[in-house]
Amino acid sequence: MSHPTDLPAWQQLAQDYRETCRTHMRDWFAQDPQRAERYWLDVGGIHLDFAKNRINDTILRHLTELAEQSGVPEQRAAMFGGEKINTTEQRAALHTALRRRGDAPVCTDGENVMPKIHAVLAKMGRFAHAVRSGQWLGHTGQVITDVVNIGIGGSDLGPLMMCSALKPYGHPRLNMHFVSNVDGMQLAGVLAKVHPATTLFVIASKTFTTQETLTNAKTAREWFLRGAGEADIAKHFVAVSTNHEAVAAFGIDTAHMFEFWDWVGGRYSLWSAIGLPIMLYLGEDNFVKMLEGAQLMDEHFACAPLARNMPVVLAMLGIWYINFYGASTHLIAPYDQLLHRFPKFIQQLDMESNGKQTRKDGTLAGYATGPIVWGETGINGQHAFFQLLHQGTHLTPADLIVSLDKQGNLPGHHEILLSNVFAQAEAFMRGKTAAEARAELLAQGMDEAAADALVPHKVFSGNRPTNMILLDKIDPLNMGSLVALYEHKVFVQGVVWGINSFDQWGVELGKQLAGTVLAELNGTLAAQPHDASTMRLIRLYRRANCETDGTCHLF
Ligand SMILES: O=P(O)(O)OC[C@H]1O[C@H](O)[C@H](O)[C@@H](O)[C@@H]1O
């Protein structure tokens, strides 16, 4: 496996960095009136303005060459073609097949996966129609009014994000709830709001072994059975999983299970049966539109030349800042309230995929890989942490995301939102020089000495990069395209870094240790030799609780 740092394009980019890192974007804009037009891409209802980046045509060419030399075209073909690119788990990553319309075969392990994808989609469609139309009745003959999705990570964040973003398309009778935290406060809060006779629980877990999800599901089941019999469970509990045996063992009839497969990664699963809450809320037609939007982005990613390929451009801009400018974080700042869950979703997608330092060949990378992805609605961020982004010491590349359509916003509100996001991008790019700050203060009537003292605090260095991602509208089609855009961006970065973006071994160690600690907290296992700090924490908890459970003798 070639090391990216040895590739000719990497070397050229290192040289580009040395030559241009002091150039201000203001100057590039001044010298090049076509810059805004050239650094712009459209895919369906998604538009990317990437002119406010610290790049010129040479850098962009070298970034594209780096993608090429890293094998992005070959790896892209391998992913779409069902090859087992998830090498540590010997699995394909075929989320793109889930949104593929039509009958063209997609094979992995010698099997065409399309018939089973279509069969599950049809089953989901029939079920969603029955619930939405009121044909599906609870055990007392009442229609379903509340859906509670119990799942965590990829079995929570995607459906939660999509149902929030597409609320205006939601069924007026259905209230959607999402429970992920094993802290009973969350489940108890939801159960206090719903009625067992009119509630449908979707137990979502790829493995059906996740402790948090199974604990919440068991508690929900006990709550339900307080006023109903075992036979009534069939009307109120369905499962989404790859694990038939565990679903049956939990007590859910596998006839009420919606299946998906090991080649669907958790954080790539909202297109599969994990999307059942989305389909219940939005209806089958809108779910299919979401799939079509994703497929539109898939086709663009598969066919567009690398230099005009939206996911590739976003990915390579990220690499430019991470590997050459030393940026370690990336901000996702949607401006629309409907997208307030989007940063959390992208955080899992990106950080669980590319938060790795071991390359596919087992060697250590020795260069930076996935960034810390974080975010919040941009307008709230402006009044909280944008100070650091404008005048702090860290370079924080940011994606600013906003819908052009007012989408029934209250009169006058959307213009304010848009004016802020456009102005922020301008401010990040332009900054404010000392001369500009001084002139402004003098114009306000300040005397020269006072102005000179204040000027250093009023200077904005600018030259801070942003991508502006515009949606024509927040609708199912564009949301499908937007999520697929980020999925492919993350994939391209993983290819360049030579890492497997589809496993997540890093989440295992904590889970493993928690099993032992839980037994110790419960008093069913004598204290194991931990470090002194962990021992102290366990003892503290035990002391605080031993009076009630009487099992202190183990310590
Ligand atoms: O769907 P499940 O099997 O319950 O897994 C839920 C989540 O937990 C795991 O620990 C992983 O970190 C996630 O990738 C996964 O989405």
Place of tokens 């290192």: 14
Q: What is the mean pLDDT of residues 403-420?
A: 94
Name which residue sits closest to atom 13 of ligand 1, judged by CA.
153
Any ligand 1 atom below 6 A from CB of 152 = yes
Give, for ligand 1, the residue of 260, 507, 511 to mutate: max count of ligand atoms closer than 8 Å to Cβ: 507
Distance (Å) from CA 231 to ligand 1 centroid:
30
Average pLDDT over residues 2-18: 97
**According to the model, what pLDDT value does residue 544 have?**
87
pLDDT score recorded for residue 146? 98
Q: Which of 37, 383, 508, 547 is catalytic?
A: 383
Task: Assess whether the C-beta atom of 481 lies below 6 angstroms from ligand 1.
Answer: no
Answer yes or no: is pLDDT of 547 > 90.
no
Whether 270 lines ligand 1, by a CB cut-off of 6 Å, is no
pLDDT at 255 over 90: yes
The CA distance from 443 to 449, in Å, is 14
pLDDT, position 496: 98
CA-based torsion, 229, 231, 234, 239: positive or negative: positive
Separation of CA 204 and ligand 1 centre (Å) = 10
Check pLDDT > 60 for residue 549: no
Question: Of 65, 352, 376, 520, which is the active-site residue?
Answer: 352
Gap between the Cα atoms of 91 and 61, Å rounded: 33
Which of 193, 244, 473, 511 is an active site residue?
511
210 CB within 6 A, ligand 1: yes
Q: What are the tens digits of pLDDT across the range 127-175?
A: 999 999 999 999 999 999 999 999 999 999 999 999 999 999 999 999 9
Mean pLDDT for 278-292 is 98
ipTM score for this prediction = 0.98
Residue carrying structure tokens 């202190």: 552
The answer to whether 123 is a known catalytic residue is no
Report the nearest atom of ligand 1 relative to the CA of 210.
Answer: 4
* Cα gap 21→16, rounded to integer Å: 8
Nearest atom in ligand 1 to 269's CA: 16
Ligand 1 pocket check for 267: Cβ under 6 Å: yes
Distance from the CA of 347 to the center of ligand 1, in angstroms? Answer: 14
DSSP of 193-261, one letter per residue?
A: T--GGGEEEEEE-SSS--HHHHHHHHHHHHHHHTSS-GGGHHHHEEEEES-HHHHHHHT--GGGEEE--
Q: What percent of the chain stands above pLDDT 70?
A: 98
Q: What is the pTM of this model?
A: 0.97
Q: Is the CB of 150 under 6 A from ligand 1?
A: no
Q: pLDDT tens digit string along 80-107?
A: 999 999 999 999 999 999 999 988 999 9
551 — pLDDT class (breaks 50, 70, 90): low
pLDDT at 555 over 90: no
Q: pLDDT by residue (tens digit) across 181-195? A: 999 999 999 999 999
pLDDT, averaged across the chain: 96
Are 282 and 129 within 8 A, CB to CB? Answer: no
358-390 pLDDT per residue, tens: 999 999 999 999 999 999 999 999 999 999 999
- H and E: helices and strands count for the chain: 24, 13
* pLDDT above 80 (res 553): no
